[in-house]
Chains A and B, each alone.
Chain A
């Protein structure tokens, strides 16, 4: 695996490299070089399976982090390729020509995060939200509770606890504020 990272590093500039387990690695690459890296991994290194493609919203940095999770059946290793894209007018190159089923993930990301994938088939079709008119709901600045109270009728008499305060009181007496999750390339 170290040799693989060295080989990729010879090709392009790796922004970060993180080893979580013996069979789980993450690399962070530049946005423009993602397609090159993915096709190299698929064709030459044996990472033939795209397990999933997901996004993380880093609102504070105004960035989206996309993770392309690959799997190698020969050496049984998971490799996550991360890439950072801008949050405003988010756009990413489509990889449906490398893995045909990627269009479905891209359609989902387009709907839930508002990331555009030009050229991806059926990317404009609605996936789970039919007739959605607000901003994409999985963006962190979308207030889902406020939307729910505005749209759906509340039944009076419901009482609820703030989960954070409640668990602090009941379970974690020595609770310390945990730091924000950092990205690999920071």
Chain B
């Protein structure tokens, strides 16, 4: 194998970042994300137990469902007693609650925020809109199925789900984390091309890096 071959293969293993202008591409990472496998089974079980008891929610209200997060955060329903607390930035959060309908303009920000979150990361999709479009199923501007764009761990149906339903959803998420079923991040890296294809199909003006580290 000569040098030219190796260069070509290396080029294929990097992200093109074609949405960015030429001079800006060097500022962003072009490495395709890779799968993170557990280091040791029993150690991972312990880590999962610990993770499920310390969930940091990204306080990014993407739709009307964000209204239900306010009573959940504050004294009436008080999610802090379940070990959940909001964080203002994706870098410090581990649970992404997508609150309701996501317009194309919002899904662009959702993808950016989701990719910037550090692993292990989980997604809760709340409301009917994220499941099949809900009452906006025929809208020109809102997506119908969220799981085509980012991997989803738990759905909470309803329009809108009450804070009690959200607590039930969080408890379900905890059970799944302890059982080691929340592999959304690895699913995202395994099916990276498929997710990117779906995302670029609807986001016509892709002016961000292909993967936001």
Contact = CB atoms under 8 A, between A and B. Distances in A.
B148 interface: yes
B99 to A, nearest CB: 18
A20 B203 CA distance: 44
B138 A145 contact: yes
Interface string A139-170: 00010110111011111011010000000000
Given A153-B148, A154-B144, A148 B104 contact: no
A61 to B, nearest CB: 24
Interface stretch (A29-37, A64-72, A77-85, A128-136): A128-136
A26 to B, nearest CB: 30
Interface of B: 103-105, 108, 131-133, 137-145, 148, 198, 201-205
Contacts, number: 61
Contacts of A149: 138
A148 B105 contact: no
A121 interface: no
B147 to A, nearest CB: 9
A86 interface: no
A131 B103 CA distance: 13
A131 B203 contact: yes
Given A152-B133, A153-B148, A155-B131, A130 B140 contact: no
Contacts of B203: 130-131
A148 B137 contact: yes
Interface of A: 128-134, 137, 142, 144-145, 147-149, 151-155, 157-158, 160
B140 A148 contact: yes
Contacts of B202: 151-152
Contact of B141 (A137, A153, A155, A158): A137
A128 B105 contact: yes
A94 to B, nearest CB: 25
A148 B148 CA distance: 15
B205 A155 contact: no
A156 B185 CA distance: 26
Contacts of B137: 148, 154, 158, 160
Given A129-B105, A130-B205, A148 B139 contact: yes
Given A137-B140, A148-B138, A158-B137, A132 B204 contact: yes
A49 B119 CA distance: 52
B135 to A, nearest CB: 10
B105 A155 contact: no
10 contacts: A128-B103, A129-B141, A131-B203, A134-B140, A137-B141, A148-B137, A148-B139, A154-B133, A155-B133, A158-B132
* B140, B142, B204, B205, most chain A CB atoms within 10 A: B140
B145 A155 contact: yes
A142 B141 CA distance: 13
A130 B145 contact: no
B44 to A, nearest CB: 33
Contacts of B148: 153
A125 to B, nearest CB: 12
B180 to A, nearest CB: 27
